Structure 1
Amino acid sequence: MISQNQLLSALLITYNEESNIREVLDNLAFADEIIVVDSFSIDKTFEIASTYKNVKIVQRSFDNFALQRNYTIDLASNSWILFIDADERLNTDLQQEIKTVISQDNAASAYFVARDFIFENKKLRFSGWQNDKIIRLFKKENASYNNNKIVHEKLIVNGKTGILKNKLTHYSYSNYEDYKQKMIFYGKLKAQEEFIKNTKPHFFHFYIRPAYQFLNQYLLRLGFLDGKKGVIICYLNALSVAVRFQELKKIRAN
């Protein structure tokens, strides 16, 4: 008999994930509970997810990523949480590793998992993504997201952390326009963080910071080895930094 402490809740927050929602929910079918919190998608995300009998789906207006994730965690019935994004996938080896880990008496409080970044169906090997890892598996009672980090949210863990051997597959870049809009959205959210920190943008923020972001990823993080794909990813990530401080300027002017 499986202990309550060994049951797994798979969590997901969504907005307009019609292209991903079926595949990710099918991918999470090994979990004991699946919960989706949707930010009132205007596509068919909510309707599709609602057809899954093993999925609990609720809708909540989006304020920021940290608050949305913490709200979703509160809905979970089980101690172990697997929190992934709609564009991430777990292979069968990773699924089995997760089941094994959560059954161990000496399990850590949280686990990092490395990710392969997929650029239009091919793995991006450099451009800053070669060492990408993130906490995706953790105990509910030992972790929560920092509400002050409203984008690229940080999980605060009480206890030791480990790292899983198998990788997540991250299908973040499907096409140029979608990724560009994602980077602009992140940039605008980061502007709110900078406003809270009372950052006063000037020449350094408008010009040096975006240039550094590009050169760091393209040269120091070997983005040039990814060819044209490296140029695109490094440029769009630098664009997000530029948008952050332009948006901050607008916020401060109001």
Structure 2
Amino acid sequence: MTKLSVIIITFNEERNIGRCLQSVKEIADEIIVVDSFSTDETQNICEQFGAKFISEKWRGYSAQKNFANSLASNNWILSIDADEAISEELKNSIKKWKSQGTPQFARFNRLTNYCGQWIKHCGWYPDTKLRIFHKNQAQWSGEVHEKLKFNEPQQIAFLKGDLLHFSYYSIDEHVAQTNKFSSLAAQQLFISGRHIPFIKALLNPPTIFLRKYIINGGFLDGYYGYVICRLAALQTFLKYFKAWQMQKERKKENKS
């Protein structure tokens, strides 16, 4: 039986973390929560579930997750966010995975709940995620929508069942996150040194909207599908506009 460490990073997740921990307690041989000094009830809830709770200053998404992975006492890790939960079908699939003699990296689909509605289109489903991996053979990379990088090619199993993602409880939350993520993405784009023409801020957003709303069927998700696609376009606009502004300011500094 393969032992599995469940790794979670948190900050003020009292409304989500209990649901997350409840969903993984049957499959976890160890639960490690690395928290960025929450001021709510996150720690108390985690301790009620018997999780190892470590407070650590924020390092960035990938660095924080890699630090948390280093604390695992088992080689195999299930990385899950506090606002996610394992469905019953996926839980059963992971139990079968644990019983295999030769475990593999594993991925599965993620289904997102947006303001109380499950989103099946907009490019949000199936949102396949690779979340089970060997801690010595992969590391997180990137600051916006971080991804796993492998030390060498891996065989990857697909597990049945959905990872349930409880994303935004209100549109206000989504708007705030759109601004935050666009700033992080703009900073990365600026640091890359690539030329950022202003035309990208004008042309890319409508392309994003049409792809998500028409091609990916966002219109089938009703009102919230429209909101999701519009905010995706807005985030694209803000990313390029903010990066263009940074580039413009750098040119001014170089001239002075």
Name the amino acid aligned to 1:87: D
Q: Distance in 1 between matches of 2:43 and 2:181?
A: 23
Q: Render the CA deviation track for 1:142-176: whole Å, top value 9, x for unaligned.
A: 21112xx2111111233211111111111113210
TM-score, normalised with respect to structure 1: 0.89
Structure 1 window deviating more from structure 2 (200-209 vs 189-198): it is 200-209
1:50-65 map, 5 Å: 51-52=47-48, 54-65=50-61
Q: Which residue of 1 aligns with 2:201?
A: 206
Q: Of 91, 94, 100, which residue of structure 2 is paired with 1:98?
A: 94
Q: Which residue of 2 aligns with 1:154?
A: 147
Q: Of 154, 169, 188, which residue of structure 2 is paired with 1:174?
A: 169
Tell me how many residue pairs correspond in the alignment: 246
Q: Of 42, 46, 49, which residue of structure 2 is paired with 1:45?
A: 42
Quickly say closer, same or farther: Cα 1:205–1:15, change in 2 above 3 A.
farther
Quickly say closer, same or farther: Cα 1:46–1:238, change in 2 above 3 A.
farther
For structure 2, the 5+ residue unaligned runs are: 251-256
Contact 1:111 1:162 in 2 (8 A): yes
TM-score, normalised with respect to structure 2: 0.89
1:130 lines up with 2:122 in the alignment: no
For structure 1, the 5+ residue unaligned runs are: none
1:25 lines up with 2:21 in the alignment: yes
Tell me the C-alpha RMSD between the 2 structures: 1.8
Measure how far apart 1:11 and its partner are.
0.7
Q: Render the CA deviation track for 1:77-114: whole Å, top value 9, x for unaligned.
A: 11111101111111233222212212312332x11110
Measure how far apart 1:234 and its partner are.
0.6
Quickly say closer, same or farther: Cα 1:210–1:61, change in 2 above 3 A.
farther
Quickly say closer, same or farther: Cα 1:245–1:47, change in 2 above 3 A.
farther
Percent of counterpart pairs with the same letter?
A: 34
Contact 1:64 1:151 in 2 (8 A): no
Q: Distance in 2 between matches of 1:213 and 1:241?
A: 8
Name the amino acid aligned to 1:217: K
Measure how far apart 1:47 and its partner are.
4.1
| 4+ aligned runs moved over 3 Å, structure 1 | 249-252
Q: Distance in 2 between matches of 1:243 and 1:61?
A: 28
